Amino acid sequence: RKEVEQDPGPFNVPEGATVAFNCTYSNSASQSFFWYRQDCRKEPKLLMSVYSSGNEDGRFTAQLNRASQYISLLIRDSKLSDSATYLCVVPYSSNTGKLIFGQGTTLQVKP
Amino acid sequence: DGGITQSPKYLFRKEGQNVTLSCEQNLNHDAMYWYRQDPGQGLRLIYYSQIVNDFQKGDIAEGYSVSREKKESFPLTVTSAQKNPTAFYLCASSIGFGDWETQYFGPGTRLLVL
């Protein structure tokens, strides 16, 4: 299994749709997780951190399933501005600052 | 206005040439990182530094070198030994290096080989 694996997509959805992405990770000792958003040809920006079973911020919900070692990101009521690549990120090893990035899932929201 | 700056935005390298990418932060962060991103791939760690005057190799350090003489600066040199340097280079920083620390990224430098 890859250390962090994501379905690259693209996911093409209409405005207003609900869409979910999954990310699987191999390090069962990981305690914290991140979702970053990356717009085309730009730097990644933090969307959400996940430390316990999940986190919610407006239309965005992240859920963690430790038993199955996956994290999901749910986007409700999709906007055109949500079109981007979403990166799943997992710490590489304990307290070194090293992160492992998934290859990203691309979302295209259509009018 | 705090943040991370990278320069130049675009850089062209000739065969056999060393080039240096600049990364500066005024966030007073201890840790800094260099990543490389190739099309359709995730970010890969080149070098990282947890504190001034100390740095560690990441997963793909061959052909690269760094220095950390000042807390706010972490320049990356792409040497002629790096045979495939064309990529998007991203610098990041974080307050510390715990697993819960958020990394903040600069705008990146695109390196192209002529």
Cα gap B14→A74, rounded to integer Å: 45
Res. A2: pLDDT tops 80:
no
Which residues share a beta bridge with B22?
B7
Contact A30, A90 (CB under 8 A): yes
The answer to whether B97 contacts A4, with C-beta atoms less than 8 Å apart, is no
More confident residue, A97 or A86: A86
Residue A27's pLDDT band, with cuts at 50, 70 and 90, is: confident
pLDDT digits (tens, 9 = 90+) for B16-40: 899 999 999 999 999 999 999 998 8
Q: What whole-number percentage of chain B has pLDDT above 70?
A: 98
Q: How far is B14 from chain A (nearest CA, A)?
A: 23
Contact A89, A97 (CB under 8 A): no
What does each C-alpha distance from B83 to A36, B14, B63, B76 come to in angstroms? 30, 12, 8, 16
Number of A to B CB contacts under 8 A, please give it: 62
pLDDT digits (tens, 9 = 90+) for A30-57: 888 999 999 999 999 999 999 888 899 9
> What mean pLDDT, rounded, does chain B reach?
93
The answer to whether A46 contacts B98, with C-beta atoms less than 8 Å apart, is no
